[in-house]
Structure 1
Amino acid sequence: MQAMTLPLSQLFAPMLGIFAAMYLLAPTFPVARLWARVAVFVAVWLVVARYLEWRIFTTVLPASGTWYQVGWIWFCLFVELLTFADQFILYLIFLRRTDRSSEAAEHERRLRNLPGDALPSVDVFIPTYDEPLEVLEKTITGALCLDYPNFQVWVLDDGRRPWLKELCEHKGAGYLTRADHVNAKAGNLNHALTKTNGEFFAIFDADFVPQCNFLMRTIGFFADPKIGIVQCPHVFYNEDPMQANLGLHRGLPDEQRFFFDSIMPARDGWDGAFCCGSNSITRRAALRAVGDALPTESITEDILLTLVLLRKGYITRYLREPLAIGLAPESLAAFFVQRQRWARGAIQTLYLAAGPLGRGLGLMHRLLFFPTHWLSLGVRALMVVVVPIVFMWTGITPVIDVTPESVFYYLFPAILALNGGISCFAPHKHFPLAAQVSATIQSFKLLPTVLATLVKPKGHAFKVTPKGAAARGASYASEIFWPAAALMALTIIGLVLNTIPEWRMIDHPAAFPMVAFWSIVNVVVLFFVCMTSLQARMPRTEERFEIDEPILISTAGGELLSGRIKDISLAGAGFLTDSGASGLFGRAAPLRVHIMQVGWIDATVVQHRGQLVGVKFNLARSLERDLLIRKLFTGALLRGNNAVSCSVNRAMFKKIWSMNAQLPHVVTKGAQSAPAECLPAESLVIPPRPRTDDLAHLAGVRSLHPTSSIESSLGRLAEAVS
């Protein structure tokens, strides 16, 4: 082979050149411009074409031997070509991208200048089946806090739970149920559509809390009559299984960030974004054009609805703003329920007239909606692990005529180019090692699902992703841990055996260093797969958010102290006090704490270490509880530097805070009001019982309780003040 006779300077020239171009030069490219994106695209695929020419004509076509040896070589090539096809479509998508934030801001300014009765009506649907109160409470409360004059919240209960009906009546939300569970979530939504008549309908899964300005930022896009759906990203306030189990929540973005932050804005540039089920708003007139109901032929009714509307000339618009926050799957079991449903639904669309292979779509939209990712993900990840094991244990090679020199000359430049190009298009969003670990984990479950759905596309039940306590089960995913551990053991033992001449299965000594390097990388990946399958302990039922703002503490002995909150959740808080106050906080001691924008809350000391005090809130259903939910989850009361700072997706939360205007904070003393930061602690009057002092914020709470409850609360406060 020619590469074997090249001097080292020429042998490594392609790899070093690609590294310099993709990792040093390309990041300085103005990738927002079309010419720069095209340049990266062309450069990457020229390198890949060079590799494929060598791969096909040198390592495959000359193959000879038994049927299974040649068959294995061709099968490995097929998997590789399938992977390249998926990557090629991804690169095509990245040739365009959008940022609709400035457009959303213009629409919001226009809407806020209109009288309230001029804005279209919106039905807000919260479909639910078996989610617990701890999950639903936040979503319902957040939906009722939407800053929009003409909407109605509807909880669509497919579980027919009396306590949920009572909760909705108490808060002022509508409640709908039905006699059966036909067509699962799609059927639930279709039933609600027959009972409501809003001009638009928004959908929030039971675990997604809308931000207060969701409707104001999205409804304006429908001024364009061709917009059928507006979709916002899924953003999470908790750690996903990989972040939690590997302890990488600060250094690793959640598993869906690459899709929602990079792929979806690019799809939007091709008018190929799609509805993702939750955090979307749909034009009712567009739905009427396709039968006034969501399609039910696939268990992923959202993406099928996008395709149905696309054929009628309606576009799904994507707004990359965190306008709703929710729960990522809290365990690998919940994660797999979700991903298996997505994979199965995507494969089902291949068999439908409304799917990507049906009539009425252009070539680019067919490519955008063809499920190449789900078809290639599982088999690709498993093959990466299995191929060197097969080679080391049987001597059956996946290629012929490959030398270490040819690997450096052809393969490594292609790998560097593909990953470098994605890093240019999606900086700080793509992590190759993490992506490989995630793909390997998913392959164990998704590959059987994909193959089963290809053979039998219909007849699969819709499974709801477990949330809350239902998601926290086994201590580890045995169906992932043991296969990964077995593959890791086979890889390590195979390496050891092939170092012993009498037991060696690899006939070509020059091939062993390449296989050894490949195997070591696989061992690292499989080790992380095993670690990810071990469920991290979840010490708290509620997520805690970092915060830095003042707090007032009233002890059982009548002392009034000040401090600063360190972290807070719906269940409790940690705060710092002066060192001299340490003797006042005995374990289980009762306290009352004043939280800005919430009011006074009964609490109990559960931890005391130095200046740090941990308390548990004794916060039953009340206006104060709803105000705390609003403060933590909806963005309605967040104030500049005092905003809650989520430790998981910090950058995304900062964007949430920046999009919400500051509201004044007022505490009341007698008939006078002043900013809290202007009043010395000793001038505050501590009420004889917990109450909410912030009348200004209470006036802004819409429908957290029925009108009678609001009036009674305000009356109680007015009486206490006077």
Structure 2
Amino acid sequence: MRILNPFPEANSPRRISPWVWGFLVVSMVCLFLALVLANLQFELVALRPLNPLETRKLPEPWAIPNDWKHTVQPSMVALGILLGMSMAPRRPWAYLLGSILLSGFSLRYFIWRSTTLNTAHPLSLTFSLALFLIEIISLLSISLQFYPSLFFDPKPRIRQADKYCQAGIEHPPSVDIFIPTYNESVKMVRRTVLACRSINYPNKKIYILDDGRRDEMADLASEVGVNYLRRPDNLNRKAGNLNHALGCTQGELIAVFDCDFIPFRNFLNRTIGFFSDSRVALVQTPQHYFNPDFHMRNLGLNLLMPSDLDSFFHYNQVIRDHFNAVICCGTSYVARREALVSAGGYFSKCIVEDYQTGTRLMIKGWRIIYLDEILSLGEVPRTFRDYIDQRLRWLQGNVQIYFCWRDLPIWTRLGIWQKSFYVSQAIYCFMPLFRTGYIVLPLLSFALGFSLIVAPPSEYLFYGLPFTIILHGILSWQSKNHYSQIWTEIYESLFCVPALGRLARMIRNPMGHIGSLVTNKDTVQNRQSMDLGLAWPLLVYLPIFTVTMFMRYGLPLIDPSWMRSSFEGEEVMLAWNVYNAIVIFVCVLACIDRPVRRKHDRFPLETVACLRIGSQVAWGVTRDLSESGLSMALIDSMIAADGKDAVVELPQSKLTLPSKILGQRNHKGYSVLRLGFLPPSTEQEEALIHLLYNENVWFHKLKRVGIIDSFLIMIGSAWRAEPLVRRF
């Protein structure tokens, strides 16, 4: 099955044979099940002081049937509903129906949950109530989107952009393209600058905003014919850099690209038309990435799974657009200079400027548009630490906005639905706390021998499982499979402990500047590694879980005096802890960073190629391509010695590149050559960047997975244990 083994032909050496690893995993699972079955008592008896002394009884209307067929009926109904919803048209009435169904199952579940609190002891009541409140707050965050979700439809904005493109612009407004940089490499900035030069728009000027004050950046600007700005200090970080550029330029519109983003040639043509409406201040487009997230790369899922930001950019932002609540994301957007000036420029009091500047524009009465169309490609952090540093900075900026009530009077100047999004965002900022509760509380209850949910498994099957099925399924369907509850839990589990640390430090100084100011992208490391400073909470959890399970189910087989009476709800807590352990194990695997040896990403681009070595000519097909070279399989025979100069022609792209042969090998009867590019001209380099980073290649397309695929991919990741089994 491809989900369990997405790269069956991977040729990197293995530390452990897959058969040996599979036997080890199966043996451990069988041992665990044997211990559980040998010790788990299914009688509903609770003699421990932390648990009720009597078996609780549900009120008559809520009593569950005695036979298993009726017990699983609600789950079957839930699955039938999801099957029916998957065939329903994506219309507001269908979204409303989905929200009503989710509300009904949620109400049914929480009425039942209110009867499952453990009131036998103050300690058990505290933890049981804490978990119940966490569940309620989590559902409240979701319910705030029930009404906005009715307006999820990205197509009207796309049709609007089509209309503007077809009509054309008689007098194109002047556009200044800002590329802010601080300490990023010349190579990275050069790529962005050349992509901006390729944008099909007549009235544009490009500016490198260099807060690093580096001569090599000035030389780059001079070489490729763009403007260069620097300032004497780094006051107010990126916001100060952008505000300085605003005072030095005069374009009617401002396009901003972080220096790790590559705009497509049609970026301005697709966005400028919206400014024909004088109320529009800013047009935001989604962030999409040409390299996989660190966790997908480490787990070997880069061709299967979308980015962890996928649901935000392709669902949340779309529904926000209807209510003028779009979040400005700091890159890949166009803004009206007049609007920015009226708002006092870019907001500079927080560690980030984008969310706050967009909020101020809305407070001033301006309109922000969201066009859900991928018009640029960016680069995501390649290691666990770089990812955490970036997300911690975003978290801090998102929290700081609520401490700027004088400058950003959200609660008095915005509409009710705009405020609801800020409430939802505030709850999301504290999701690390809730995720920690979902992980720690079940383990703690099992270690101490009390239940957080005082209910037998039959009740959970009748009330809890149908709610879980509907929750996962409806949210996935409403977002067109851009949202996966399972993988959201994995992302939150990776992030929760570092985020709690940052939130704790912010209590003392909410507006302070903590952590890094920019995200490291120029990562090169030759060995597989794990950042123990960040991964240790995950590593500690697994031994604690193992010891707890052994003490509960292993020791009684060795010494019966360790036998502890079962408690009502033990089976539910056991299942929850096992699920958490699988999630944490996947997180640990995701934290093991693969080596980053190449300076340029290699893409599986197959296109016809012609190779010329002196008077010899041979045709073939490229197997992969990067900014620095390619490999190609030759159809014709050719004598090609290593080190020889050659010329590669890609006729479909009308691109010719001087090259040098680096090596050759035979593969399935074909001669495969590795070629490195010699320094190309600026025009050739510009065309190569367009070939690699454009909207038409399959490997840059959006990826979406359903709930069943999400679950299988998670299990497959744990089963294969790619970072442990394979040597990189």
Structures share a fold, TM > 0.5?
Answer: yes
**AA of the residue aligned to 2:617:** L
**AA of the residue aligned to 1:180:** D
1:180 counterpart SS class:
coil
Choose the corresponding residue for 2:366, options 306, 309, 314: 314
Structure 2 Cα separation of the partners of residues 619 and 369 of structure 1: 50
1:141–1:630 Cα contact (<8 Å) kept: no
Structure 2 Cα separation of the partners of residues 412 and 314 of structure 1: 45
- Which residue matches 1:588? 643
The answer on 1:29 being equivalent to 2:88 is yes
- Which residue matches 1:270? 323
2:631–2:673 Cα contact (<8 Å) kept: yes
The answer on 1:633 being equivalent to 2:693 is yes
Structure 1 Cα separation of the partners of residues 436 and 564 of structure 2: 21
The answer on 1:162 being equivalent to 2:205 is no
**AA of the residue aligned to 1:554:** R
**AA of the residue aligned to 2:129:** W
Choose the corresponding residue for 1:554, options 566, 587, 612: 612
Choose the corresponding residue for 1:382, options 431, 436, 454: 436
Deviates more, 1:82-91 or 1:267-276: 82-91
- Which residue matches 1:111? 168
2:305–2:703 Cα contact (<8 Å) kept: no
Q: 1:470 to 1:164 in 2, by over 3 A?
A: farther
Describe the superposition over 1:674-699 as per-residue Cα deviations: whole angstroms up to 9, x where unpaired: xxxxxxxxxxxxxxxxxxxxxxxxxx
Structure 2 Cα separation of the partners of residues 269 and 327 of structure 1: 29
1:148 counterpart SS class:
coil
**AA of the residue aligned to 2:523:** A
Quote the offset at 1:454 in angstroms. Answer: 4.2
Choose the corresponding residue for 2:128, options 73, 79, 100: 73
Choose the corresponding residue for 2:677, options 589, 596, 617: 617
- Superposed, which structure 2 residues align to 1:482-493 within 5 Å? 482-493=536-547
The answer on 1:530 being equivalent to 2:584 is no
1:309–1:315 Cα contact (<8 Å) kept: yes
Runs of 4+ deviating beyond 6 Å: 470-474
Quote the offset at 1:645 in angstroms. Answer: 4.0
Describe the superposition over 1:642-666 as per-residue Cα deviations: whole angstroms up to 9, x where unpaired: x6443x64669xxxxxxxxxxxxxx
The answer on 1:443 being equivalent to 2:502 is no
Quote the offset at 1:472 in angstroms. Answer: 8.8
Q: 1:108 to 1:539 in 2, by over 3 A?
A: same
Structure 2 Cα separation of the partners of residues 407 and 232 of structure 1: 43
The answer on 1:608 being equivalent to 2:608 is no
1:593–1:601 Cα contact (<8 Å) kept: yes
Structure 2 Cα separation of the partners of residues 505 and 254 of structure 1: 46
Structure 2 Cα separation of the partners of residues 542 and 430 of structure 1: 30
- Superposed, which structure 2 residues align to 1:335-414 within 5 Å? 335-353=387-405, 354-355=407-408, 357-370=410-423, 371-399=425-453, 401-414=454-467
- Superposed, which structure 2 residues align to 1:86-235 within 5 Å? 86-99=141-154, 100-112=157-169, 114=170, 118-235=171-288
Describe the superposition over 1:200-253 as per-residue Cα deviations: whole angstroms up to 9, x where unpaired: 101100100111111110010011122111000001111111210000011111
Structure 2 Cα separation of the partners of residues 392 and 43 of structure 1: 33
Structure 2 Cα separation of the partners of residues 492 and 357 of structure 1: 48
Q: 1:622 to 1:279 in 2, by over 3 A?
A: closer
- Which residue matches 2:5? none
Q: How many residue pairs were aligned? A: 630
Choose the corresponding residue for 1:240, options 269, 272, 293: 293
Choose the corresponding residue for 1:17, options 49, 70, 77: 77
1:469 counterpart SS class:
coil
The answer on 1:334 being equivalent to 2:386 is yes
**AA of the residue aligned to 2:517:** K
Choose the corresponding residue for 2:471, options 418, 422, 425: 418
Choose the corresponding residue for 2:347, options 295, 300, 307: 295
1:91 counterpart SS class:
coil
Describe the superposition over 1:484-513 as per-residue Cα deviations: whole angstroms up to 9, x where unpaired: 122012112212211144576864345332
Structure 2 Cα separation of the partners of residues 472 and 602 of structure 1: 26
1:98–1:269 Cα contact (<8 Å) kept: no
Structure 2 Cα separation of the partners of residues 507 and 311 of structure 1: 60
2:173–2:203 Cα contact (<8 Å) kept: yes
Deviates more, 1:484-493 or 1:168-177: 484-493
2:451–2:569 Cα contact (<8 Å) kept: no
Describe the superposition over 1:542-563 as per-residue Cα deviations: whole angstroms up to 9, x where unpaired: 112222322111225x311111
Q: 1:466 to 1:600 in 2, by over 3 A?
A: closer
Describe the superposition over 1:577-604 as per-residue Cα deviations: whole angstroms up to 9, x where unpaired: 02633xx233333322223322241222
Q: 1:270 to 1:458 in 2, by over 3 A?
A: same
Q: 1:600 to 1:8 in 2, by over 3 A?
A: closer
**AA of the residue aligned to 2:119:** A
Quote the offset at 1:634 in angstroms. Answer: 4.9
**AA of the residue aligned to 1:494:** T
Quote the offset at 1:357 in angstroms. Answer: 4.7
Unaligned runs of 5+ in 1: 636-642, 653-722
The answer on 1:478 being equivalent to 2:478 is no
Structure 2 Cα separation of the partners of residues 232 and 28 of structure 1: 29
Describe the superposition over 1:120-155 as per-residue Cα deviations: whole angstroms up to 9, x where unpaired: 111100010011122111100011111111111111
Quote the offset at 1:480 in angstroms. Answer: 3.8
1:219 counterpart SS class:
helix
Quote the offset at 1:4 in angstroms. Answer: 5.0
Choose the corresponding residue for 2:621, options 558, 564, 567: 564
**AA of the residue aligned to 1:156:** L
Quote the offset at 1:35 in angstroms. Answer: 1.3
1:179 counterpart SS class:
coil
1:235 counterpart SS class:
coil
1:198 counterpart SS class:
coil
Structure 2 Cα separation of the partners of residues 439 and 585 of structure 1: 52
Q: 1:576 to 1:161 in 2, by over 3 A?
A: same
Q: 1:372 to 1:258 in 2, by over 3 A?
A: same
**AA of the residue aligned to 2:676:** K
Q: 1:435 to 1:567 in 2, by over 3 A?
A: same
Q: 1:628 to 1:298 in 2, by over 3 A?
A: same
Deviates more, 1:559-568 or 1:476-485: 476-485
The answer on 1:49 being equivalent to 2:49 is no
Q: 1:541 to 1:650 in 2, by over 3 A?
A: farther
Q: Which has the higher contact order (CA 8 A, sep 6+)?
A: 2
Tell me the TM-score normalized by structure 2: 0.82
Quote the offset at 1:48 in angstroms. Answer: 0.6
Structure 1 Cα separation of the partners of residues 227 and 694 of structure 2: 20
- Which residue matches 1:63? 119
**AA of the residue aligned to 1:50:** R
Tell me the TM-score normalized by structure 1: 0.83
Q: 1:184 to 1:538 in 2, by over 3 A?
A: same
Structure 2 Cα separation of the partners of residues 503 and 273 of structure 1: 61
- Which residue matches 2:715? none
Q: 1:223 to 1:351 in 2, by over 3 A?
A: same
**AA of the residue aligned to 2:666:** R
RMSD: 2.2
Quote the offset at 1:447 in angstroms. Answer: 1.9
Structure 1 Cα separation of the partners of residues 530 and 618 of structure 2: 45
Structure 2 Cα separation of the partners of residues 512 and 290 of structure 1: 57
Deviates more, 1:599-608 or 1:564-573: 599-608
